[in-house]
Homo-oligomer: A and B are copies of this chain.
Amino acid sequence: MTKLQSHGREPFETVDRAPEAQAEGFATVRQAHESEMAEDYVELIAELIETRGEARPVEIAERLGVKPPTVTKNISRLKAAGLVRREPYRAIFLTDSGQELAEACRQRHRIVVAFLCSLGIDEETAERDAEGIEHHVSETTLVAFGQALKQSWKHE
């Protein structure tokens, strides 16, 4: 039991951090919440276009578990943010920047799900937890998940 590969510390001690560092952490979480709606929408829209040919508000509402007016309102926010293109009463399309965001989100989502599954978590739970977790995974952590995933392949 060498200490060489240790990433260190006893696992259950509370790290005490400088107040500013802690505050920065909470600020990061609040920021993540601000992008969350956009990320989930573009991700879903991309999936619907791919699998259903088009993205319709009814279906977005159904899959998000919200009511149609909520979708209308949020879609116009996405349009204002330049992520989506569309005319009233018609299907929804992604702009280039929307497409780009969607791809990144889908990729991240898939990695998080696969990583959780590689820990032995059932797919349903993995999907559920990933839907929230994904928005709080930094690039660093995403890379670490990817690495761990590769490791898990070797050992199977």
Contacts and interface: CB of A to CB of B under 8 A. Distances in A.
Contacts of A29: 131-132
Nearest to A148: B119
Interface string A10-24: 011111110101111
Contacts of A136: 129, 131-133, 136
B116 A141 contact: yes
Contacts of A22: 63-65, 127
Contacts of A54: none
A51 B19 CA distance: 13
A37 B122 CA distance: 28
A144 interface: yes
B138 A128 contact: yes
B119 A145 contact: yes
Interface string A96-134: 000000000011001101101111111111111101110
A73 interface: no
A62 B106 contact: no
Given A114-B11, A136-B132, A156 B3 contact: yes
Contacts of A62: 19, 23
Given A13-B110, A24-B128, A26-B65, 20 more contacts: A2-B156, A6-B156, A7-B117, A7-B121, A9-B114, A11-B118, A12-B110, A12-B114, A15-B123, A22-B65, A22-B127, A23-B64, A25-B131, A29-B131, A33-B33, A120-B147, A126-B141, A129-B141, A132-B136, A133-B136
